[in-house]
Amino acid sequence: MNNLEGRRHSDSSGPTVDEKHPIDIYSIHEINAGRLVLDLAQARTEFPEEISSRLKTSKDGKYILWPQPTDDPKDPQNWSDRRKNFQLFIVILASILSDFDAAIGIPAVFDLAKQFGKTTTQINDIVQNWSIFVAGCGGLLLVPFVRKYGRLSGLFWTQLLSLGFLVGATLAPNLKTFAAMRVLTAFFGSCPQTIGLYIITDMFPFHLHAQKINLWTMAAVLSPHLSPFLFGFLVARQSWRWAFAVGCFFGLAVMLLITFFLDESLYIRSHWKPSLVERDVRTGISAQASGRIRDLVGITGFQSARPEPTWGEVLSAPFKLVWRPHLLLILIFESAVFGFGIGINVTNTVFLRSPRPFGFGLDSTTVSWIYATPVVSIFVGLFLGRYLNDWIVIREMQRKHGVHEAEARLWTCYIGVLMYAVGFVILGVALQDHLNISALIIGWGIAQAAVLEADV
């Protein structure tokens, strides 16, 4: 049974939008995003009776649902749990693919340097550094189109282009072509790490966001460590091109899941007229296939796009938000936490495989085993991030009479920063003084667990 079949607290079958009071219950969660009333008793003191009596709650009655599900069965908030979780599974795989592809070059850096006649530093400068830089731009530039025309077509096109450029990198005859293909792969491949957050908030109510975002964030944090761990064993025995070929097969599998199973989740709740981006519904196999293609390539989204939000609204939204101190400081904090975590992931293979006295002089297979450290620690961070975050938020909400305020989640970040600092200090000392590998593993593990905990 759908856990969002919340119970109404009135038997009235009034209009979908309250016409007597200027409060739109379907978009109020966007206006008051930093302060949401989750307790029904508190809602009765803050909202008029005609509003509070119509609020839907979770099945157990503990939380008011934000956003409020409409009576429309097409509303993604009303989808079954099974359908929602399968959609989330596809998005998680797409998010893993993004940095998974970007990090394939890490275990192959010495082989790439040998084949193209460069040093490992030059390979990282030409290929890895620029790939990491443009990865942050791709998702941001796609946001206006995703808000206007829907999530499905945006994810389809970016993953198709990313797969095509990864094939180009696999077959690249020279370093210039290889570098260009890698940068373009990273640019388009990073989009699921933006679109995923939209899809989660489309489908799941606020009180489940931390749990679902934790899973999705785990994919983003896990992926750059997963490919060095797996492909280090492969490049020790086969050409580096085989590592990229495996990445292509993984990308193809994700593309097939998106093509055949991913549903459009954009549901416009603001402007007093909630509605889904209508899909092309036809009968007959050929007609259904034609309609599905129109949905995927964006024709349906373009034709059914509403005037609201306007292009002015979607283009100006990032600039209206980024200057606000509370958001800007969080962005700076997250860029440091996530950025240094990615940076050490890229450079550790150089430290570990370079001959002494600069490095540790380890072989590719041993380094691959060491790269299991962040993979394991991320699952520890997943556990801490989910349960610690929920415990802190519930405690703060009880203290504030059922009202959630956004800054309550900062307590998790404070704990994460302490772990992060301890982990990186141990890791740095281990690298600088060539301590036993166990010290490096302990420091790296603590730091990466802290990254996931703080990112949620």
- pLDDT tens-digit profile of 132-173? 888 878 878 888 899 888 899 999 999 999 999 999 999 999
- Decide the pairing of beta strands 35-37 and 403-405: antiparallel
The pLDDT of residue 7 is 38
The H-assigned helical ranges of 236-357 are 240-261, 285-297, 299-304, 311-322, 325-353
Name every residue whose Cβ is closer than 8 Å to that of residue 149 and which is 6 or more positions away in sequence: 277, 298, 301, 302, 305
Q: Confidence band (pLDDT; 50, 70, 90) for 317?
A: confident
- pLDDT tens-digit profile of 183-227? 999 999 988 888 899 999 999 998 888 889 888 988 888 888 899
The pLDDT of residue 10 is 37
- pLDDT tens-digit profile of 122-134? 888 888 778 888 8
The pLDDT of residue 382 is 85
Alpha carbon 168 to its chain centroid, in Å, reads: 26
- Listed residue (125, 7, 119) closest to 55, CA to CA: 7
Name every residue whose Cβ is closer than 8 Å to that of residue 423 and which is 6 or more positions away in sequence: 443, 444, 445, 446, 447, 448, 449, 450
Q: Confidence band (pLDDT; 50, 70, 90) for 435?
A: very high
Rg (CA), the chain: 24
CA distance 61 to 75: 21
The pLDDT of residue 429 is 95
The pLDDT of residue 8 is 39
The pLDDT of residue 282 is 55
Question: Is 261's pLDDT higher than 90?
Answer: yes
Q: Confidence band (pLDDT; 50, 70, 90) for 272?
A: very low
- In eight-state DSSP terms, residue 362 is -
What is the three-state SS of 60-78? CCCCECCCCCCCCCCCHHH
Overall CATH class of domain 79-316: mainly alpha
Question: Is 20's pLDDT higher than 60?
Answer: no
Average pLDDT of the residues in 407-412? 84
Q: What is the mean pLDDT of the chain?
A: 84
The pLDDT of residue 341 is 87
Residues present in the chain in total: 456
Q: Confidence band (pLDDT; 50, 70, 90) for 2?
A: very low
Question: Is 398's pLDDT higher than 60?
Answer: yes
Quick check: 95 and 220 in contact, CB under 8 A?
Answer: yes
CA distance 203 to 216: 14
CA distance 454 to 417: 7
Axis-axis angle for helices 437-455, 209-235 (nearest 10) = 150
Q: Lowest mean pLDDT: which of 31-40, 218-227, 240-249, 251-260?
A: 31-40
- In eight-state DSSP terms, residue 127 is I
Quick check: 103 and 230 in contact, CB under 8 A?
Answer: no
Largest pairwise CA distance in the chain: 78
If DSSP codes are grouped into helix, strand and coil, which group holds residue 36? Answer: strand
CA distance 180 to 169: 8
CA distance 325 to 228: 37
Quick check: 420 and 303 in contact, CB under 8 A?
Answer: no
The pLDDT of residue 22 is 59
- pLDDT tens-digit profile of 44-99? 888 888 788 888 888 888 888 888 888 888 889 999 999 999 999 999 999 999 88
Return the percentage of the chain with pLDDT > 90, whole number. Answer: 32
Cα pseudo-dihedral 299, 305, 310, 311, rounded to 10:
-10
The pLDDT of residue 284 is 61
| H or E element at residue 268 | strand 267-268
Average pLDDT of the residues in 250-275? 84
CA distance 340 to 450: 12
Name every residue whose Cβ is closer than 8 Å to that of residue 343 and which is 6 or more positions away in sequence: none
- Decide the pairing of beta strands 35-37 and 267-268: unpaired
The pLDDT of residue 275 is 55
Average pLDDT of the residues in 397-402? 82
Q: Lowest mean pLDDT: which of 37-46, 101-110, 352-361?
A: 37-46
Average pLDDT of the residues in 421-445? 94
Domain boundaries, the chain: 1-78, 79-316, 323-456
- Listed residue (230, 136, 226, 259) closest to 188, CA to CA: 136
